[in-house]
Every structure is written in C-alpha cells, then in structure tokens.
C-alpha cells in the first residue's frame, strides 16, 4: 500500500502546471507529483507506467482534447479533476467520470474542495477489497463467484489492462476483473511492493535480485520479473540494500 497520494498534472501550458504544483505544495504538501505532461503522447506513455491517485487534466491539449487521451484506455482508476477555460465540456467530462470540473483561473477554495472530494472517493475504494473479518485473507471475485485465499499464498500479481492475475504458491492462478492499482491499495504494504507498472510482488516470496538498470527479481515460483528504474531505489531501500 502506498503511503503518499500520487498526483499527475497534464496541461499544455507551463504556467498552468506550475500553478497547480504551487497549490499542491501549499495546501497538500504530503502529496507526491509523479509526473507532469503537456501533450497526449507523453501523457499516454506516463499513464502506462504510472497509476496516479489523482489526475489534474486540462481539456484542451494543443490540437487535441483530454477526451482523445482518455479514449486510449479502457479504464483509468484515478480520480480525474478536469481543468479548463471552457464551460461547454462539463457534460462530456461528467460522462467520463469526472471527480470535479474546475474553470480557469482556478480559485483556491474550489481547488481544495475538489481535492478533498477525490480523497473521499479514494478512501471508499481502499476498504472494499479485503475481508474485514480475516485480515490474513483476501476475497477475489471471479466469473463463477468468489474465492477466499491466504495473503501469504500470493506470490505475485500481474496487470493486464483492467484485469489482474494472481499467481499463487501452489502454481495456480486467478484472473480478476479489477486493476492492479486497486489491489496495490488493498494488500498490506509490509508484505507487498509494486516493482513495475505490471508487477506487484509479495516480498516474502522474493528469492533473488539481479543487478541492472532497474534490475530483476526472481520469485519463489521461478518467475523472473523486471524492476522499473523509477522504483529501483525505493525497492532496494525496502529490502535494506542501498548498494
């Protein structure tokens, strides 16, 4: 489970990105800005690698719109706060699941209200995936019903678009129609770490780390998984190795 709320800012104007960054630093200094982008191409590449909790998304992105970006994904499990100088996109934004819709120039009070609304939505999603009666188990919904599995038996979880596949110690696997981000929030931070946008691993099943730009890990089931360069230092710090 992440300890910080992660943010991305997508706006084709630098002063727009800078102003949102400034508001965040003043009002929500505990947040982490994981990336900023000014166009659809960079935004798309970064969203494939990261799943921020909140996206501040300008409607007009050069010659394209935010809706062109969103159409590239089946699902973005982030809270999306649209930011625009135009009122006429509000209905389309609501249909895209907007958390809020802020008009430029942004008023500080409106910004704070929008962010708090997003935080409330995030809290609601964090409590729905684990079994409240048995903290050492997790309930996985399947097409046939649901399965209750021991958290200790999870070797790794792998993302596939809006699906997540669980690989278990007994060599079986379970595919669930939920994003990896949702399970990253739900599974205990002490045991699990997201080494890559595709992989969430159970640290108790980690057997070996192989050095490289990001490096690789070898798990107890024999799988060899890439560690993203962006997560490498945090991963090595977690296992107590800073070399």
Same structural domain, 121 and 141: no
Same structural domain, 171 and 83: no
Same structural domain, 81 and 144: no
Question: What is the count of structural domains for the chain?
Answer: 2
Residue 151: what pLDDT? 93
Residue 132: what pLDDT? 38
Whether residue 74 is preceded by a cis peptide bond, meaning omega within 30 degrees of 0, is: no
Residue 167: what pLDDT? 97
Q: Report the distance separating Cα 20 and Cα 82, nearest Å.
A: 12
Q: The domain spanning residue 106 has which CATH number?
A: 3.40.50.2300
Residue 182: what pLDDT? 83
pLDDT tens-place string over residues 14-72: 999 999 999 999 999 999 999 999 999 999 999 988 889 999 999 999 999 999 999 98
Mean pLDDT of the chain: 88
Cα dist. 87→2, 79, 126 in Å? 35, 20, 32
Final residue in a domain of this structure, among 96, 126, 156? 126
Residue 131, in any domain of the structure: no
Closest by CA position to 230, among listed 197, 182, 198: 197
pLDDT tens-place string over residues 129-162: 444 335 688 888 777 778 889 999 999 999 987 7
Same structural domain, 16 and 121: yes
pTM value?
A: 0.55
pLDDT-based confidence at residue 2 (cuts at 50, 70, 90): low
The three-point CA angle 115-8-97 to 5° equals: 60
The pLDDT > 90 percentage for the chain reads: 61
Q: What sign does the dihedral 30-33-34-40 (CA atoms) show?
A: positive
Same structural domain, 146 and 117: no
Same structural domain, 34 and 143: no
| Rounded average pLDDT over 185-211 | 92
Same structural domain, 205 and 99: no
Find the domain containing 186 and state its range: 137-238
Same structural domain, 64 and 114: yes
| Rounded average pLDDT over 151-175 | 92
Strands (E), 25-65: 32-37, 54-58, 60-61, 64-65
């Amino acid at each position: 489970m992440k300890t910080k709320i992660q943010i991305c800012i997508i706006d084709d104007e630098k002063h727009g990105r800078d102003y949102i960054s400034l508001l965040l630093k003043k009002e929500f200094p505990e947040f982490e800005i994981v990336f900023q982008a000014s166009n659809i191409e960079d935004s798309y590449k970064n969203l494939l690698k990261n799943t921020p909790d909140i996206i501040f998304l300008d409607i007009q992105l050069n010659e394209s719109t935010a809706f062109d970006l969103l159409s590239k994904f089946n699902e973005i499990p982030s809270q999306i706060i649209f930011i625009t100088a135009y009122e006429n996109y509000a209905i389309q934004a609501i249909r895209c699941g907007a958390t809020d819709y802020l008009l430029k120039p942004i008023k500080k009070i409106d910004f704070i209200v929008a962010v708090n609304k997003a935080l409330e939505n995030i809290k609601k999603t964090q409590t729905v995936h684990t079994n409240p009666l048995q903290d050492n188990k997790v309930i996985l919904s399947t097409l046939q019903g649901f399965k209750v599995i021991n958290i200790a038996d999870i070797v790794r979880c792998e993302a596939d678009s809006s699906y997540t596949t669980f690989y278990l110690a007994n060599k079986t696997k379970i595919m669930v129609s939920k994003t990896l981000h949702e399970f990253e929030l739900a599974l205990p931070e002490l045991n699990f770490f997201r080494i890559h946008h595709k992989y969430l691993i159970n640290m108790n099943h980690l057997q070996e780390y192989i050095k490289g730009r990001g490096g690789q890990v070898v798990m107890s089931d024999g799988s060899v998984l890439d560690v993203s360069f962006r997560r490498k230092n945090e991963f090595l710090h977690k296992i107590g190795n800073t070399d």
